[in-house]
Amino acid sequence: MGLSAAAPLWGAPGLLLTIALHLALSLRPAQAWAPVHRDYCVLGAGPAGLQMAYFLQRAGRDYMVFERAPGPGSFFMRYPRHRKLISINKRYTGKTNAEFNLRHDWNSLLSHDPRLLFRHYSDAYYPDASDMVRYLSDFAERLGLHVLYNTTIAHVTLNKDRGAWNGHYFILTDHRGQAYQCSVLLVATGLSVPNQVDFPGSEYADGYESVSVDPKDFVGQNVLILGRGNSAFETAENIFSVTNFIHMLSRSRVRLSWATHYVGDLRAINNGLLDTYQLKSLDGLLESDLTDLAIVKDHQGKFHITLKLFMEAGNQSSDAIPLPQDDNDNFAMRVAYDRVIRCLGWKFDFSIFSKSLRLSSGSELSKKYPLVRASYESKGSRGLFILGTASHSVDYRKSAGGFIHGFRYTVRAVHRLLEQRHHGVAWPSTKHPITHLASAIIRRINEASGLYQMFSVLADVVLLKENATIFEYLEEFPMQMLAQLETITGKRARHGLFVINMEYGRNYSGPDKDVFFSDRSVGHMEDAWLSNFLHPVIYYYRHLPTEQEVRFRPAGWPLPRPWALHHVVEDFLTDWTAPVGHILPLRRFLENCLDTDLRSFYAESCFLFALTHQKLPPFCQQGYLRTQGLVGTESLRQHGVESGLLWDSAITGQRQGANEQQPGDHGPGGHPLAPGPPVSPFSSNKEEL
């Protein structure tokens, strides 16, 4: 029976049927809502997300960044609550080397645009958070990054597919119901969920995320702050001049960043309360496990601290609950408080991720951070990478991976890994004659920012080629992935390798360490291994370490025991260019490892070596015997002219207009070592001898 035969279309039964059909059609998934595919999906347009977007864009990859806010850097729109960042903005170093200056610029992201350096956005050493928001906005806009704003990803799950890069696609669903299919998922959402400790009365505490930032609201009050990190001390710094006193309670002792050498610990800019505590001006610090305590609110609205076990004794009224001072009249927290403020830090938001992704194991650290490998890839899902602050479990309380000046380099390392894995683009490297090895290492340890900031996490790797006549230099490789170097980089490591790392002294960092003891500095090269301050350490391996060797390395070592190890002695100026103290010991170490002579020689010396030795130094093999000459500088050429070994190039250039220079007769500065008529030890032509 047809529809028209059953009832008129707009009659009572027909109207109901029409409405039902309309609802059914509207609820059925339409083609317009089919998943949108992207090779790379980035969650979050904060610093880490934008940094990855930059690298993907430069490589010409198919990607999209998803951001729930109307602009980038939404975290910095609200935090820190008192608006002053603790990341330094050192605008002057006395150097013009851009890479070196990034060592002391903790806010800039990496890009090819010199306008996008944070020094152009603030003059303050500790900038305002609003300057970071403005900077990130310009970074995204000027570079034309693909960011989808006002898009909240509500759910992330897996869809297995043998044709996918990693055997599955990641399916992201936004708040509108639109689905996105991603081959690789890069999560850069940071830590956004406030840490809370559940104990009786914890609901009375104001959270750092919502407490008033107006000091007038705390005038003449007794304040208890729960926590002992930078957010707790930042809050105290804002109000301690107007309160009666501030007590700060935490389960562990204060960790000062200048003692631990970890930038996430308490910074000097926020530690004014330590002065007032130690100088006995009423403020104080206390240690106790919060889970053992309880907060009781009396009929006047005041808060009292008691023990949790007293609360469990029975359902008594607040005035009847026993307090510790009932038995101990010297109880430190016997005073009543007007305000209790919770400042316990942050943790990762796992709520949008399906359990099938296996981002958390339930351990304490994995409740704060997702589970990741040293490559920043999830342990539970191949192709899912954690970037930025949320990836800090790799180097928590060890290095700077949770902060912009650290994770801008770890993000780059992840991108290089992805380029090799999915596009066959090998890890960037340069090849040089073995005679340049010492100078290549010296340049990097004196300039490189990634090595300097991500010490003991990212390291340079030198791969030796057959017969050790050439080496290949790879920058900023994740040290803990050394056993997988060939797979990750697309390079071969069959003839030995050096690993260049930056390290503090083994027993120099810790909350209980005295870092100002009188003989803390090491100045003699024979004591270099005792260096305390950050200094270069070079590891030499004859073979690539195995996964088992890396995993079961000695306690406190960033790598397995090498065949040979060299410490470059610490330097007060972090300038490792002293010819005797730094360069000479390094060269001799390299020579011992390679069983060769890395010195440079005049042509006369090479000629004598050729007559008296079966094996010539590499410099003579690569230069003299191939008529490449001695690489030189203008000062070296002028010295040759003044000593009579060379003729002045202005004169000889006219007399030898018909003679062309050899391609190798230019030094690093482009200065020719002009030959003259006399036989010269600088000469590159064997026939002249």
* pLDDT tens-place string over residues 104-153: 999 999 999 999 999 999 999 999 999 999 999 999 999 999 999 999 99
Which percentage of the chain shows pLDDT scores above 90? 64
In the predicted model, is pLDDT for residue 10 greater than 70? no
The arithmetic mean of pLDDT across residues 522-529, rounded, is 88
**Model confidence band, residue 626 (pLDDT cutoffs 50, 70, 90):** low
Judge if the upstream peptide bond of residue 80 is cis by omega within 30 degrees of 0.
yes
Distances (CA, A) of 111 to 56, 339, 437, 457: 12, 46, 28, 22
Under DSSP, the state recorded for 575 is -
pLDDT score of 332: 82
Residue 443 makes CB contacts below 8 A (sequence gap 6+) with: none
**pLDDT tens digit string along 253-282?**
899 988 998 999 999 899 899 999 999 999
Query: In degrees rounded to 5, what are phi and psi of residue 38?
Result: -135, 140
Q: Check residue 510 and give its pLDDT.
A: 86
**CB neighbours (10 Å) of residue 34?**
11
Residue 634: what are its φ and ψ, rounded to 5°?
-60, -40
Q: Which residue has the tokens 């198919």?
A: 62
Cα–Cα nearest to 209, from 346, 73, 74: 346
Detail the DSSP E strand segments found in 435-520.
458-464, 470-478, 497-503
What pTM did the predictor assign?
Answer: 0.82
In the three-class reduction of DSSP (H, G, I as helix; E, B as strand; rest coil), residue 452 is classed as: helix
What pLDDT is stored for residue 26 in this prediction?
44
Rounded Cα distance, 589 and 91, in Å: 37
Q: Residues 183, 186, 187, CA angle at the centre, nearest 5°? A: 135
Task: Answer with the residue of higher pLDDT: 660 or 77.
Answer: 77
Lowest mean pLDDT among 14-23, 156-165, 512-521, 536-545: 14-23
Report the half-sphere exposure of 142 (CA within 13 A, side-chain side).
13
Q: What is the pLDDT of residue 363?
A: 67
What residues contact residue 5 under an 8 Å CB cut-off, 6+ apart?
Answer: none
Inform me whether the pLDDT recorded for 423 exceeds 90.
yes
